[in-house]
Structure 1
Amino acid sequence: MLQIDSKYIEKALTANALEELYPLLQKAVELEHSTIPPYLTAMFSLKPGTNLVQRQIIHSIVIEEMLHMTIAANILNALGGKPAIDNSHFVPEYPGPLPMGIGNGLIVGLEKYSTDVVKNVFMEIEEPENPLVFKSVSLAALPTFSTIGQFYQAIQKKIDELAPHDLPGDKSKQVTSSFFPADELFPIYTKQNAIDAINIIIEQGEGTSTSPLDQEDELAHYYRFEELYKGKRLVKNDAAPNGYSFSGPDIPYTPEDVFPLFPNTKTSMLPAGGEELNRMNEFNTSYYSLLSGLHATFNGQPENLDNTVGVMYDLKLTAQKLCATPFPGKPGYTIGPSFEFIVPAGS
């Protein structure tokens, strides 16, 4: 289970003005983004046309992490703050802990897909305070630790306490998009809008205290990753504890259809002047364009979101080239995307 430095929850619960929540919501935007590069790296390492269920599940979670990032930015704007996306401090260093002192020793890197990474990293990131146990699964609950969900609940509680019914932020900065369902991404105009939106983030990530499903009757992230680890679908089973069991269809997995990415590839590892470096620079240029586009989207150009999401397609194409490219001087490895914040020349 991830643990958040308790000072962030204490800051939320002891805030006396909405302005004191601004840096906490900025951290929430950073946290939601920080999970996307590790998830995408694992997904990009799957060879095209193979391991389709793994690809579909990870892709669905990445889309929801982008949704959560957008919701957090909408709430920050609704309270009168300003999201900051296009700077080097926004991007975490991989491998390393995630934002807000999260970890309990967990170091998150950029690695190829494997069931070990799913279990030891991805499930750790998404684990709720008290994960539901299905069939033979046994996961220790660590109630003394603060989870991502508890952090959001603290912010939710303080918004409920301090905010007026109509929130003070510029309504024109609220981001909506046909890319996301209207009942998941909606304008945050009122206190209740903010409370409802935070519930979406919590339940999509962790499920509820009694069900692995979120408000849309879809498995929460933790249990989707657990499906991949177990290689079985989690399905409703009235005879099983908690009403579900890993007794559904098998999820096939072929490890040989995963590119052997060199873990935590950095631009500095590649020889100057080579095609490999050119491809990495092309990838990081697309990544910069994505972050720059999101910054503009969240700071007065909400109509830009659909175009920005389109940059993800460019990111995918350049990543696929990288993942299939042999790593110079490292036999048996290919190049992984580095997700480094590098401002292109002339920008």
Structure 2
Amino acid sequence: MLKISPKFVNSIINAESLEELFPLLQNAIELEHATIPPYLTALFSFKPNTEAEIRKVIHSIVIEEMLHMTIAANILNALGGKPDISNPNFVPNYPTHLPMGIGEGLIVGIEKYSPELVKNVFMEIEEPENPIVYEKTAKKSALPTFRTIGEFYMALQKKIDELAPEKLPGDPARQVTSSFFDSNLLYPILTKHDAMSAINIIVEQGEGTTTSPIDEEGELAHYYRFQELYVGKELVKNPTAPNGYSFSGPVIPFHPNNVQPIFPNTKANMLPEGSEERRQVDIFNNSYSDLLNGLHRTFNGEPEYLNNTIGVMFDLRLTSQKLAEMPFPGKKGYTIGPSYEFTKTLSEHEILS
């Protein structure tokens, strides 16, 4: 599982004011974002019109990670803070530890899809403290020297309940909503109860509950959806199996030949200056920066600007797929991967105070 340094949870526990929670919620925004590029790269590495079932699963998880990032930003705004997205330090330098991760723990890179990537990275990111064991899986033992994502969010929830007034102090006009998300999942965070309920959404969609792999919306949590991909079968209700579920549903097919051989952890400086390959990577990185800058504006007083980011997301997908088909100069047998490098910061007059 993703091992979070206990100092972050301890900082929440020891906080005596809402302002002390601001950097920790910023950490949460950074963590939710940091999972998206690895998941997107796996999704974009499939050849066109292949692996529809796997695409569907990964796409659904990416959308929910975007939701979690937005919820975290809404909570920070509701408490009176300001999300910081237009910042080179916001973007991980893959391969890397995820934000708040312990140094000797999980390393996350930008790679093509494979069952091994799902098991060794994606499931590790999403694994709850005590995953429910189903047929064809084995439970891991937990070490007491670190915290989990769920523990971090639960500590945050408890501290908000302790410190915050019922009506939260942030400007309601900064709250982001969108028809892109179910209004039961993304809603204005105006009260303490709103914040606590929203944190439950993040935890249950990622980890499930302690007794079920299903969240309150009736969907499998991320950990178990990824587990389905690794096992190659759907996790379904089975009254005769331990814990009531087993991997005995329909087969989820996977054909390795449908994956583009993208070079892991591509960087722009690996490609010749002036080449078409470098130009396409630069186009990707500029679009990625535009997306983050757009999200910064969205989370800092222009919630309606979220609609402007939809077209940028489409551009990222098209450019990434084009890169995945381009041979990597000097690396025989490989194509080019997206590099997710921040290139353009908003100017001072573009950043709202």
TM range (shorter): over 0.9
Indicate how the Cα distance of structure 1 residues 344 and 75 shifts in structure 2: closer, same or farther if over 3 A, else same: closer
Structure 1: distance between partners of 2:182 and 2:344:
33
**2-structure distance, mates of 1:131, 1:175:** 32
**Shift, 1:172, TM fit:** 0.2
| TM-score normalised over the length of structure 2 | 0.96
Q: After TM superposition, give the deviation of residue 345 of structure 1 in Å.
A: 11
Shift in Å, 1:89: 0.5
Partner SS for 1:199: helix
DSSP-derived class of the 2:224 partner: helix
1:71-220 pair list within 5 angstroms: 71-102=71-102, 104-142=104-142, 144=144, 145-220=146-221
CA deviation profile, 1:47-73 (whole Å, cap 9, x unmatched): 110011111111100000000000000
Corresponding position of 1:264:
265
Aligned to 2:4: 4
In structure 1, the partner of 2:318 is: 317
Q: Distance in 2 between matches of 1:102 and 1:148?
A: 12
Which stretch of the first structure deviates more once superposed, 28-37 or 133-142? 133-142
The answer to whether the 8 A contact 1:5-1:146 is kept is yes
Q: How many residues align?
A: 347
Matched to 1:163, the amino acid is A
Structure 2 CA distance, aligned partners of 1:4 and 1:29?
15
Q: Does 1:28 align with 2:24?
A: no
Following TM superposition, the consecutive aligned residue runs of length 4 or more in structure 1 with deviations greater than 2 angstroms are: 101-105, 344-347
What is residue 277 of structure 1 aligned with on the other side?
A: 278
Q: Write the distance in 2 (CA, Å) between the matches of 1:219 and 1:251.
A: 15
Q: Unaligned stretches of 5+ in structure 2?
A: none
SS at match of 1:276: helix
Give 1:299 shift. Answer: 0.2
Percent of aligned pairs with the same residue?
66
1:132 match: secondary structure: coil
Residues in 2 aligned to 1:91 and 1:268: alpha-carbon distance in whole angstroms: 17
Q: Is the 8 A contact 1:2 1:104 kept in 2?
A: no
RMSD: 1.3
Deviations 1:298-340 (A, max 9, x none): 0000011122133211110010100110000111000000001
Q: Give the drift of 1:104.
A: 4.6
CA contact (8 A) 1:37 1:339 kept: yes
- Contact 1:85–1:292 (Cα < 8 Å) also in 2: yes
Conservation of the 8 A alpha-carbon contact between 1:179 and 1:306: no
Inter-partner Cα distance in structure 2 for 1:235 and 1:265: 38
**Per-residue CA shift, 1:93-125, capped at 9, x if unaligned?**
100100013465211000000000000000000
Range with bigger deviation, 36-45 or 134-143: 134-143
**Aligned residue in 2 for 1:39:** 39
- Deviation (angstroms), 1:139: 2.1
Deviations 1:262-286 (A, max 9, x none): 1100000001110000100111111
